[in-house]
Amino acid sequence: MKCELISIEFVCHGNICRSPLAEYLLRHLVQTRGLSDSFHIASAATSREEIGNPVHRGTRAKLQALGISTAGKCAVRLEKQDYGKYDYLIGMDRYNITDMLRILGGDPDGKVSRLLDFTDHPRDVADPWYTGDFDTAYDDVLEGCNALLDHILSQKPNFSQKSK
């Protein structure tokens, strides 16, 4: 059975640390469950500061350790029209959510959430740009991506997982 396409955009301040980490980790998770054809996953920034820049070396290192490449990914900015393109718009912290709502012009359909709001311990994902702690950012993003994926799958009973 062919499932509908679920579209997700992760958002952080610069689109070089947390949001690409979430983008590539969730892609990896859906691939391991055999669901890649059912998802469109992207990421963007709320600021213009890093537009065109590659993924931060700390994020690249965490993903490369899993055999995941971010080659070709450059920071892009969240745009108002993204609201109509995505089912889920996921920010990394409360500041991202505030900026996202400003850029998007609101959230009439309830598409905007923080990543870790899907977990049992809702909180912000600390920004490794400031902390230098990519290990904690990775752990938080992985926890959030697993919780988000579980949430989506629980809402979509027609999804059949090919492998775990």
Known catalytic residues? 12, 18, 127
Q: CB of 34 within 8 A of CB of 73?
A: no
Q: Are 137 and 107 in contact (CB under 8 A)?
A: no
